Structures are given as C-alpha cells and as structure tokens.
Amino acid sequence: MEVIAAQALIQALEQENVSIVFGYPGGSILPVYDALVSSALKHVLVRHEQGAVFAANGYARATGRVGVCIATSGPGATNLVTGIADAYMDSVPLVIFTGQVPTTQVGTDAFQEVDITGITAPITKHNYLVKDHRKLLQTIKNAFYIAATGRPGPVLIDLPQDMLKTKISFRYPKSASLQSYKPVLEGHFGKINEAARLINKSRRPVIYAGGGILISQACEELKQLAEVISAPVTNTFRGLSCFSGKHPLFLGMLGLHGTRYANLAVNECDLLIALGVRFDDRVTGKVATFAPEAKIIHVDIDPAEIGKNVRIQVPIVGDVKVVLQALLPLLKKTDRAAWLQRIEELKSLYPLFYHQENVLKPQFVLEELYRLTDGEALIATDVGQHQMWTAQYYRFKKPGAIISSGGLGAMGFGLPAAIGAQLGLPEEKVILVTGDGSFQMTMSELATMVEQKLPLKIFILNNQSLGMVRQLQEFYYDKRYFGVNFEFVPDFVILAKAYGIPGYNVSTPDELTRRLPDILNTPGPVLVNCLIDPRENVLPMAL
C-alpha cells in the first residue's frame, strides 16, 4: 500500500509496539503530526522539548521499553540535547525523531536548520539523516534494534520535510540490517571458570552492582549470588533498587556520597565482583587507591568499559544475567562468618546519621516517605542534595523504582521523567522528590502533568538555594558563597494553585508526619513544599 513516508513512520512505530510518544510540533515535523491525527498512538504534548526527551527517558527507565520522542528541526532539536546526553550516559534506550529542513535546503543555513546528527554524534549510540525515503523503514528498524540491545542508548533519526512527504510502499522489515553490530551476550567460559575459582577462594568478597543489573533484569541472579557466597552488595547510584535495601547483605551506595561502611568494605575486600558498572570517578575517587587489596572481576556487556579506568584481573564481556546464570552453578555455598561479622561491625560503627531537630530535616522527609510507602513507591528525583538524600535514605525494594539522572546529573530531569514514568506505569505510586533549584528548571511541565491527569506527588525539598553547589563552596571554596542563594523563590503553593493542584507548606517534622498519610492517599496530584534546614549537607562526603 502506498502511503506518504510520515504515515509509514507512524505505522512503523505501531509495528515496534510503541504506544506513546512525547513531542512538540513545529514546521519541519508537521508531516508526522499530520499522520498522528489518524493514528491510535498516544501523543503527549509537553511544554518544552527537553520535557519530551526527559519524559521519554523516564518512561523507558520505568518500563524497560524504548522511549520515543519527536521534535521539530533547529531549536526543537537542540532543546533535546541534554536529554539525549542523559540517556547516553545512563544507557537508556530512546529513539528520537527530529524534523529537518527539506533535502534541497540542507546545508544552506535555512530557517530552523541545525546539523543535529553532527551535534548529537558524540552523545548518541548512533544517528541517521534519512535523505532517501526508500531507506526510512529499514532505518527505523535498525534504530529500535540498536537502542534496545547490547548496552542500550539513544538513537536519533533526522527527517527532512520533503522526504517525509514522499510516497512509499509500506513494507516493514522483519529484522535490522547491520554489518558488524552484534552484542556479545555469553561470557567467555574460561573466564567464568576463573571467576568462580577466585570467588570460591576469596575470604572477603564484595559485590559492586550497577545499572547493568537492572537493564539485563538480573536482580534475582544477583540476590542468589550474594546469598550463596555470603558477599555484601553495594550499589552504584544507577544500580540502586537492583538489590533490596532491606536485605541484610545490602551496604547501600558507595563512592562520594556513599555509606562509610560500603566504602570501607570495598577498601578491605580481597575480591571485588563488579557487575554492570563502569568504575565512574564518583565511585572510585582516586583510582590508584580504590579497592587496594582486591582482585577485580568485571562483567559488562560493553567491552570498552572493561579496563577503561581500573585494571581488571578477570574481564568478562557479556550480558550480566547470562553470565551470572553460567557462574552460579560453579560456586560453593559459603558463610564467611568472620567477614560478615566485620561488615556488621562497620555498619554499626559508621551508620548514616543526621541530627533531628525541630526544623525539618530533608533526611527525615525521605525516611518518612520510605516508612509510609514501605519502599514500594517509584521515586523520581532531580539532581542535587535531595537526590543524594534519596539515594541514602529511601531503601528501594522494587527493581527500577528510582528514576534519576546519574551520569549526566541533569537538573530539570525530575518532573518530566516522573510524568513519563507514571504514563508508562499508571498503576504505580510515583513520587517526585526535587529541589527548589531543579524544579524551577522544568516546572513548566506541570501543565503536561495536569493535562495528562497524572496523580504525581511532588515533594520540593526547599532550601531556597542550590544546596549541592553551596555545599561545594562551603568545603572547597572557603565558604565564599556566590550564585547559590536565591533572593527570590516563587510561592510554590500559589504556583500549584495556578495549575489547579493542591499544595501545602510543611516546615516541621510533626507537620510532615501528620499530613503525609493524607497527601500520599490523595487520588490526584499534590505539591508539598518542604521548607527544610538550608544548612544541611549531604554527608558522608568521601574523598
């Protein structure tokens, strides 16, 4: 059947089982919007393109499916850049469609023309400029395949307007056509044996588990591994929720703002089992002194991550779930009582703590949220102090229950990502924990939330400043505070009212405890402006 390319594109999305797209229209992409008119696809109109890409990102993180967003050429495309970079850093599968000026005008600095494939080359897994309509469908097939397989990531397809209006016959390819792209799933058998030998011999093993566990859905295998070999588990930020925060073997997050006992355990371990991680600088600090006594086993699907930052004794390239399934039968059940006793000792010597006072402490907000949701909620965060307090004090139980910008650390991520997550998982209770700085970056998406009738519970940990940056100035710039204290912060309760959302100010611990059950049980959205102690710091702060 002959259709115009833009219609074929929409049909291709249906073939890929896409049910929702996030977007913002504009001149060049109009053929696609015209095709959306008669499609069953749900289109979510955001208020800024960054909202579209962050929402697709939140959707993909929450559901494990490919997130799709659409924007027009020029500024529409450049507004996506931060969200694409975020997906690239955190290995989130996205397919991004951008409009482009007609092929005849490409390269002439036409109105709303930018070289978006050039701009996004370093922050996409791959990208395409489709000038030839005959290549459109195969390109879409390839894009979804590339985005979702191996180490996932964003793939951008740039669509010149005239190409979108060309007639093509719709025959959607059954498979991707790529010459050399073949992710390796199975680990090398010899290396897996070697890993098993090291593990069985080890007296003080620590498991260092990251986002790869969540992506490959290896949470159950991770739990088995930890229990069989009696090894404590620490998480990277991106790995949080892959191992129950309530499990006695859980050490919490490691690294810069990780628990003291996780970092000490890594320091003392004789074997570090690194699973789906990338030895990020926020984890390792000085590479030379990281896990000084340990041999390291590193399992990752991306060969380039192995040996990139740290020397590895046993490298295993493969899907971490497949590798763990091969590894588990080779392991001896061991109790390692002395080591676990030492871990308990570290936990009791150096617990996470804060001083509860009459003012509202941010850590208390997170503890209360945890207590009342029993760790079952989906928590989206922005970036900054509140994000680290969430990582420390909310003990995630459900895999994938934290939606947050890790590698890129992009403020403004929270609200749109929460919108995407809630649309992807309508049954879940989604809570946004944000700060007054981050929230002001993308609060225009409140309109999207209301339009989509989403019952998000928004907690602004309001310290009327950019707390994390202020903390850095306190520690590293002799308290020369500059550019971090807001002289004006909007009244968020009145703002919520403008959007027709109930809003509350909360400024004491009692008030929070009293109000929280009702707030969490409200059927619709609620905004809670938590006036927290502005002097509070994220501690510990290692390194």
Whether the Cβ atoms of residue 53 and residue 455 lie closer than 8 Å to each other: no
Q: What is the DSSP letter of 510?
A: H
3-state secondary structure of 66: coil
Using CB under 8 A, which of the segments 236-244, 262-270, 297-305, 508-516 binds another protein? 297-305
x-marked contacts with another protein along 95-114 as a string, rule CB under 8 A: --------------------
Which residues are CB-neighbours of 125 under 8 A, at least 6 positions away?
88, 146, 147, 151, 152, 153, 154, 155
CB 116, min distance to another protein, A: 12
Beta strand 154-160 with 126-129 is: parallel
Using CB under 8 A, which of the segments 138-146, 348-356, 381-389, 404-412 binds another protein? 138-146
The yes or no reply on residue 303 touching another protein (CB under 8 A) is yes
Which residues are CB-neighbours of 383 under 8 A, at least 6 positions away?
404, 405, 409, 410, 411, 413, 414, 438, 468
Q: Output 251 or 274, the one with its CB closest to another protein.
A: 274
Among positions 60, 77, 116, 146, the unique one binding another protein when judged by CB under 8 A: 146
Among positions 194, 302, 474, 511, the unique one binding another protein when judged by CB under 8 A: 302
CB 275, min distance to another protein, A: 19
408-467 residues in contact with another protein (CB under 8 A) are none
CB 256, min distance to another protein, A: 23
Whether the Cβ atoms of residue 427 and residue 396 lie closer than 8 Å to each other: no
x-marked contacts with another protein along 158-197 as a string, rule CB under 8 A: -------------------xxxxx----------------
Structure tokens at 102: 């007609």
Q: Output 46 or 130, the one with its CB closest to another protein.
A: 130
Total residues contacting another protein by CB under 8 A comes to 22
Which residues are CB-neighbours of 190 under 8 A, at least 6 positions away?
none
Instruction: Provide Rg for the chain, Cα atoms.
Output: 24
User: Minimal CA–CA distance to 465: which of 478, 443, 480, 481?
Assistant: 481
Q: What is the DSSP letter of 187?
A: P
x-marked contacts with another protein along 248-287 as a string, rule CB under 8 A: ----------------------------------------
CB 179, min distance to another protein, A: 5
Q: Output 290 or 492, the one with its CB closest to another protein.
A: 290
Using CB under 8 A, which of the segments 257-265, 298-306, 433-441, 457-465 binds another protein? 298-306
CB 296, min distance to another protein, A: 15
Among positions 57, 82, 138, 392, the unique one binding another protein when judged by CB under 8 A: 138
Which residues are CB-neighbours of 283 under 8 A, at least 6 positions away?
208, 236, 254, 255, 256, 258, 277, 290
The yes or no reply on residue 304 touching another protein (CB under 8 A) is yes
Among positions 72, 100, 139, 442, the unique one binding another protein when judged by CB under 8 A: 139
CB 324, min distance to another protein, A: 23
In the sheet that 271-275 helps form, which strands lie side by side, from edge to edge?
250-253, 233-235, 205-209, 271-275, 295-300, 314-317
Give the residue carrying structure tokens 């611990």: 509
Q: Output 122 or 523, the one with its CB closest to another protein.
A: 122
116-135 residues in contact with another protein (CB under 8 A) are 117-118, 121-122, 125-126, 129, 135
User: Minimal CA–CA distance to 195: which of 185, 205, 180?
Assistant: 205
Structure tokens at 275: 């699973």
CB 94, min distance to another protein, A: 15
Give the residue carrying structure tokens 């053929």: 31
Mind giving me the DSSP string for 300-335? Answer: ES-GGGTTSSS--SEEEES-HHHHHHHHGGGPPP--
CB 486, min distance to another protein, A: 35
| Residues facing residue 381 across a β-bridge | 433
The yes or no reply on residue 308 touching another protein (CB under 8 A) is yes
Q: Report the interface residues with another protein, using CB under 8 A.
A: 117-118, 121-122, 125-126, 129, 135, 138-139, 142, 146, 177-181, 302-304, 307-308
